[in-house]
Structure 1
Amino acid sequence: MLVAAAACPCPPLLVPEVAAGAAPELDAARAACADALGVLAAARPDRLVVVGPAERGGRHPQGAPGSFRGFGVDVDVTLGPAARTAPGPELPVSLAVAAWLLERSGWAQAPVEGVAVDTALPAERCAGLGAEIAGGSDRVALLVMGDGSACRTLKAPGYLDERAAPFDTGAARALGGADLGALAALDAGLARELQASGRAPWQVLAGAAEGAGLDGTLLYDEAPYGVGYLVAAWS
């Protein structure tokens, strides 16, 4: 059963070495992510599942490696507090950012596993995946990674789209209010056009939280660099 959840953005720029001189611009986002992880730790889960968008879905065990070398910095991470014990694929960027956040927080409360979610996964399959993750009698916490639209300004990665701000407003309201119906109703086609990578992971969260009775709090809602970054905690 799901006992707590945190939603965090997943730009590599959260890692100060990647952001370099611009690192202070996301200090507030990093602080909000730390607060959200504190909510997960306080729930004392039996296991933590990290869900993040990727080009291809798949599972990643505790100790799976990730890297930000592709962004020009010598920073490596592992998923959870364990050395890599078996060969396997590297973490997608979203899960690597999550691994960095967990390492930064000193996470040691529960075992960790990662689930990469195909950004094109239909809503009903997202919901089914969430229900599968939260099923059973153990206490599960979710760390859900994903960004809002990337079309908030003229200089945004996806240029300016007038639909972007309303989409992000709706997503922020749904995450802050733990509104499962609103998350489940997010339009996959519109999210794809707006380059909103959080749509599928948020719908996994909605499926996992069905019947859990969690309340939500929105901790951060900004659009630096024209991309919507949202942080929320559910408990």
Structure 2
Amino acid sequence: MISRVAVLPHPPLLVPELVGGGDRDADAVRAACLDVARELAAASPRWTVVGVGQAPATGVGTFRGYGVDVRVTLGDGDGAPDAFWPLPALIAGWLRERAGAESVDLRLVDPDLDPGSCAELGRALAGGSGALLVLGDGSHRHGERAVGKPDDRAGEFDERVAHALATVDTAALRALDPALAAELGAVGRAPWQVLAGAVDADGRAWQATRSTTLTPFGVAYHLAIWEPA
């Protein structure tokens, strides 16, 4: 059975070499994410990771496509590094190494996967063992620092996500509108709905022991830890 769940964003700024020194906002996001990842590794050294994208074909990834050749693996990996790993795979590997986890089993999905299919995948994961790490950002359209054009709907959308993660409201996660999420750039929508399907199928009562949302760069970064109650 799933021992613990963590929800994290996956911005490249988590990797210090990609940012440089002196950015306190990036440092704060990185420190918060590493705290959550280490708590997840303390529950289990084996992670199942849900994110969006295509599964990598090689055993070693690199952030070279983001500017620096920082190499990562998902466990036992060798060979030439691949600069085309999807971002969730790269971040999962980077977090694994720094948190002390042993292995990552990637379950990457299409960002447009419909809620029903997300729930079905979640049900399939519910019977697995180890810890579950769910990677995905909220809307990137918050305020003046927005990556995309600011959108007044972003605030309400991410408030709804934050409340659902803080209260383990799987129904609210399942109800997130894929079209609205896509318009707001919230790539975490499908992974969060996979999470909802997994916890619903698990059958146990769950509680959030940590939950916070950070938006220092116009993007909503949701962090949470869920445990069986």
TM-score (norm. length: structure 2)? 0.89
Deviation at 1:88, TM superposition (A): 9.2
Q: 1:133 aligns with which of 125, 130, 154?
A: 125
Cα distance in 2 for partners of 1:89, 1:114 equals 17
Residues 95, 145 of structure 1: 8 Å contact kept: no
Equivalence for 1:172 = 162
Equivalence for 2:66 = 71
Q: Does 1:96 align with 2:90?
A: yes
Residues 8, 232 of structure 1: 8 Å contact kept: yes
Deviation at 1:112, TM superposition (A): 2.2
Deviation at 1:52, TM superposition (A): 1.1
Equivalence for 2:116 = 124
Q: Describe the superposition over 1:32-87 as per-residue Cα deviations: whole angstroms up to 9, x where unpaired.
A: 22222233233337x42011122x4x4x69x832211011111111113x223799
Alpha-carbon distance change, 134 to 225 in structure 1, aligned in 2, over 3 angstroms = same
Q: Which consecutive residues of structure 1, in runs of 5 or more, have no partner in the other structure?
A: none
- Which residue type is aligned with residue 175 of structure 1? L
Equivalence for 1:31 = 31
- Which residue type is aligned with residue 119 of structure 1? P
CA RMSD, 1 decimal: 2.3
Alpha-carbon distance change, 181 to 93 in structure 1, aligned in 2, over 3 angstroms = same
Equivalence for 1:158 = 148
Q: Describe the superposition over 1:5-25 as per-residue Cα deviations: whole angstroms up to 9, x where unpaired.
A: 100000111111111246432
Cα distance in 2 for partners of 1:64, 1:220 equals 33
Equivalences, count: 225
Residues 148, 168 of structure 1: 8 Å contact kept: yes
Equivalence for 1:43 = 43
Q: Describe the superposition over 1:79-119 as per-residue Cα deviations: whole angstroms up to 9, x where unpaired.
A: 13x223799995311121121111111223xx421111110
Q: Which consecutive residues of structure 2, in runs of 5 or more, have no partner in the other structure?
A: none
Cα distance in 1 for partners of 2:77, 2:159 equals 40
Deviation at 1:140, TM superposition (A): 3.2
Residues 60, 79 of structure 2: 8 Å contact kept: no
Q: 1:205 aligns with which of 195, 198, 202?
A: 195
Identical counterparts, % of pairs: 47
Cα distance in 2 for partners of 1:151, 1:132 equals 33
Alpha-carbon distance change, 11 to 21 in structure 1, aligned in 2, over 3 angstroms = same
Alpha-carbon distance change, 88 to 161 in structure 1, aligned in 2, over 3 angstroms = closer
Alpha-carbon distance change, 88 to 34 in structure 1, aligned in 2, over 3 angstroms = closer
Name the stretch that deviates more: 27-36 or 114-123: 27-36
Alpha-carbon distance change, 84 to 178 in structure 1, aligned in 2, over 3 angstroms = farther
- SS, match of residue 226 in structure 1: coil
TM-score (norm. length: structure 1)? 0.87
Residues 148, 197 of structure 1: 8 Å contact kept: yes
